[in-house]
Amino acid sequence: MSKKIITVFGATGKQGGSVADIFLNDPKLKDDWAVRGVTRNTSSDRAKALASKGVEVVAGDLNDKASLVKAMTGASAVFGVTNFWESLDKALEIQQGKNLADAAKEAGVDHYIWSSLPHVSKITNGKFVNVHHFESKAEVEEYVRALGIPASFFHAGFYMDNLTQGWSRIQPAEDRGGAWTLRLPFAGNTPLPLIDTVADTGKFIKGMVLHRDAVLGKQILGLTAYVTPDEIMASLRKLFPEAGANAAFQEVSLEVIEAAVPGPEHIKVDIVENFQFMANYGYFGGAGLEESHAIVEDKLTTWEEYAKRASYFADLK
């Protein structure tokens, strides 16, 4: 019997790469599924690495619907993700998300999984309307629902990678004698839904595909656990008793964060409102994780496990 196909967008990236990996290697999936990975550039190193692992690498661009239909033709399942951070453009991300959904309908896909996020403006009754990278994905989720295609929704939590990469990472602070410091604009006991995106996105998508009928129309929250900034830093003190001896969280003002966020004004506002939302409503509105974890059979990566093997901390003095 020929294998079913899962078309994976963003296969050269974190979320999609994790999905491709598990469908290639998992004993429960690899004999039944073939992976078709979509990229704009089939000759990049990442695309070549995917091909060498057994992915059918195909060209596709989220701005070109015809290429998406082609990439989805014959696929039973599709994982769709967009990258706001490349364009910083909400309208463009919405258009790309709609292109994916329209293509899934046209190709007659049996299960479309959209990488979405909570609808901040609705949850907050219009208090925070500028979290563009959440709004765009949530608006697309509404569009997908209205299209009436068989779909489910993956809501990725706060990447553990945000704590080791980019402007928000934990860093030695000069004004704290070089001690490892995490600075965010809320209290140290604010719960953050942490996910090891590269290691674990695929575990959720595997569960969603294997439990298709049960998850249709549902939102599956992608997190291992809620962990607070104080707990994040306590783990580092324990794991790295020398270099991380004085690791600690510091609550800072929104102005400090605004200055730290690189990019144009609308992005600064986006991030500031995003943090206010997390502090006042909760990233996932305080939702429990039982329903989402019920479909996941693989062990999820804890913050301690992630931190222990992160070369970033091993190299940090």
Ligand X SMILES: NC(=O)c1ccc[n+]([C@@H]2O[C@H](COP(=O)([O-])OP(=O)(O)OC[C@H]3O[C@@H](n4cnc5c(N)ncnc54)[C@H](OP(=O)(O)O)[C@@H]3O)[C@@H](O)[C@H]2O)c1
Is the CB of 144 or the CB of 156 nearer to ligand X? 156
Residue 181 engages ligand X in binding (rule: CB under 6 A): no
Q: Are 33 and 62 in contact (CB under 8 A)?
A: no
Between 165 and 280, name the residue whose CB sits nearer to ligand X. Answer: 165
Q: Are 162 and 146 within 8 A, CB to CB?
A: no
Task: State the nearest-atom distance from the C-beta of 96 to ligand X, in Å.
Answer: 6
Q: How far is the CB of 243 from ligand X (least distance, A)?
A: 25
The nearer residue to ligand X, 97 or 243, going by C-beta atoms, is 97
16 binds ligand X (CB under 6 A): yes
Q: Which residue of 49, 85, 129, 297 would you call a contact of ligand X, by CB under 6 A?
A: 85
Paired tokens of 151 = 């779909």
Q: Draw the binding track, 138-177, toward ligand X (x: CB under 6 A; -: no contact).
A: ------------------x-xx--x---------------
Q: Could you tell me how many residues of this chain bind ligand X (CB under 6 A)?
A: 27
Q: How many CB atoms lie within 10 A of CB 293?
A: 17
Are 134 and 118 in contact by the 8 Å Cβ rule? The answer is yes
Environment class of 27 (CB within 10 Å of its CB; exposed 0-12, middle 13-18, buried 19+): exposed
Regarding 133 and contact with ligand X (CB under 6 A), the answer is yes
Kindly state whether residue 62 participates in binding ligand X, applying the rule CB under 6 A: yes
Among 7, 12, 99, 130, binds ligand X (CB under 6 A): 12
CB 157 → ligand X: shortest distance, Å?
Answer: 7
Rounded to the nearest angstrom, the gap between the alpha carbon of residue 126 and the centroid of all alpha carbons in its chain is: 24
Can residue 13 be called a binding residue for ligand X (CB under 6 A)?
yes
The least distance separating ligand X from the CB of residue 187, rounded to whole angstroms, comes to 19
Provide the minimum distance between the beta carbon of 159 and ligand X in the complex, in angstroms, as a whole number: 4
The CA distance from 236 to 128, in Å, is 33
CB closer to ligand X, 44 vs 189: 44
- Report if residue 36 touches ligand X, rule: CB under 6 A: no
Nearer to ligand X, 57 or 179 (CB): 57
Which ranges of the chain does DSSP label H, i.e. alpha helix? 14-25, 45-53, 65-72, 84-87, 90-107, 120-123, 132-147, 197-210, 212-215, 229-239, 254-260, 265-280, 290-294, 303-309, 311-315
**CA 261/CA 45 separation, integer angstroms:** 30
Q: Which of 22, 35, 81, 192 binds ligand X (CB under 6 A)?
A: 81
Residue with tokens 């290697």: 25
Helix, strand, coil in percent for the chain, rounding step 5: 45, 20, 35
Task: Identify the residue whose tokens are 């299960």.
Answer: 111
Tell me: does residue 40 bind ligand X (CB under 6 A): yes
Place of tokens 């590269």: 198
* Nearest residue to ligand X, scored by beta-carbon proximity: 13
CA–chain centroid gap for 64, Å, is 23
Q: Is 14 in the site for ligand X (CB under 6 A)?
A: yes
Question: Between residues 243 and 307, which has the closer beta carbon with respect to ligand X?
Answer: 307
Q: How far is the CB of 47 from ligand X (least distance, A)?
A: 6
Could you tell me the smallest distance in angstroms from the CB atom of residue 275 to ligand X? 12
> Residue 34 in 3-state DSSP?
strand
Q: Is 61 in the site for ligand X (CB under 6 A)?
A: yes
* Distance, CA of 116 to CA of 226 (rounded, Å): 19
The contact set with ligand X (CB under 6 A) reads 10-16, 39-41, 44, 60-63, 81-86, 117, 133, 156, 158-159, 162
